Structure 1
């Protein structure tokens, strides 16, 4: 019987970050979706090596940005590459409950946490004093769960009803909840479910980001939100 082999590349920093560094338009689109809710004191939970942190730092409404990252080597790299940035090596539990957080940004983090509703409650406790906003982005659709999801350490991919239930169970008031990147749904299924690829191809990510995604996102944002997608985007009030 053939068994699935572990992915040795999954333990390297380049496994995800090198290819996703090419997703420039994708990152900017995410920030544009969240910008109306980003002001004052903002925490980015699960900042990685700071690819999204650099984009958040350009949002005019943010007066203080704190990056939180549990992986020490990533936190150190973030500090090294973005000197002067406030970086906490830890989790949301290490953020002070002082009533001053206006927003939390979490991109592709919640799926790594086994007790996701408990984590969402922790985030709400941070935001509740200001009625601040959670800007959340997670992988969608259980049928897209592939070997590479396991490599990433994903416990799940979310459905829209499932994420809605998790947010409301945690005490959040949902402002918006939409699928994101319908074309990416088919690309992910073909590459990682059907062909069972175990890594991103830099050239493919660059091509999709430059030639395809801008058109897809413009349609989804200005014409019609899709009924399915590669990811889910949520904004919820604490």
Structure 2
């Protein structure tokens, strides 16, 4: 099993983090949904039993698509082994949950995603924040970059979409990464125990995010609306 797959398995344990992500985006989830790079389908798990939802999962990894097909074989979920450019459908909501940082040409990916949105549809991105936090872990899991708010403002101007949500979140994660940088901790800090501890602290992170008006965090959530 690859290092990245090990990390995916560990993140399956981070239910508090997944719940926090979901709380930030749930109101933008439409009826016809596409998630690109869905991992093991943790976010979509929350919608598969809703018969009103039409769910599509797209990934270029054949092995991961097989895993998703086995997991959702009795659900109303369509698995597509393709990148978004080759998909002919239009969607009310398109999700990229910690995905576009893995894509070298992120400008083109965002443009292609917007083209696949229905009118008044939403494109949701969650990505790692702040390039100064870029570490060996980012490199090991295939991150080309981290982002700030200005990154998404530039995307919006290029593609003529409206930003309806843009904020940092997970302040505890941010502080942990800053401490790791300051102490020059090397190697993989994303152990099973480390992720479980971070997940345990997530409720505190949610409170701090609210107190500090989502002004900093380990991640960014951005939601575009297409007009």
User: TM-score, length-normalised on structure 2?
Assistant: 0.89
Contact 1:39 1:61 in 2 (8 A): no
For residue 109 of structure 2, what is the aligned residue in structure 1? 119
Map 1:57-96; keep pairs closer than 5 Å.
57=48, 63-84=53-74, 85-96=77-88
Q: Which deviates the most, 155-164 or 76-85?
A: 76-85
Query: C-alpha displacement at 1:143, in angstroms?
Result: 0.5
Which whole-Å CA distance do the structure 2 matches of 1:68 and 1:21 have between them?
Answer: 19
2:213 matches 1:225: yes
User: Displacement of 1:9 after TM fit?
Assistant: 5.2
Q: For residue 26 of structure 2, what is the aligned residue in structure 1?
A: 35
Distance 1:220 1:21, change over 3 A: same
Contact 2:94 2:122 in 1 (8 A): yes
Alpha-carbon distance in 2 for matches of 1:95, 1:185: 36
SS of aligned partner of 1:135? strand
Runs of 4+ residues deviating >4 angstroms: none
Any conservation in 2 of the 1:39–1:62 contact (CA below 8 Å)? no
Equivalent residue number for residue 144 of structure 2: 155
Contact 1:192–1:198, Cα closer than 8 Å, also in 2: no
Is contact 2:209–2:215 with CA below 8 Å preserved after alignment?
A: no
Equivalent of 1:26, from 5, 12, 17? Answer: 17
**For 2:51 and 2:23, how far apart are their aligned partners in 1?**
12
RMSD over equivalenced CA pairs, Å: 2.1
Residue 206 of structure 1 and its aligned partner are, at CA, apart by 1.4
CA drift at 1:43: 0.3
In structure 2, the CA distance between the partners of 1:124 and 1:104, relative to structure 1 (3 Å rule), is same
* 2:157 pairs with one of 160, 168, 192: 168
Contact 2:163 2:224 in 1 (8 A): yes
Structure 1, residues 207-234: CA drift from partner, whole Å, max 9, x if none? 2212x1112214424x442322111001
Report whether the alignment pairs 1:104 with 2:94. Answer: yes
Structure 2 runs not aligned, ≥5 long:
none
Deviations 1:127-171 (A, max 9, x none): 1x3220011101110001011111111111001112221233122
Shift of 1:49: 2.1
CA shift for structure 1 position 61 = 9.1
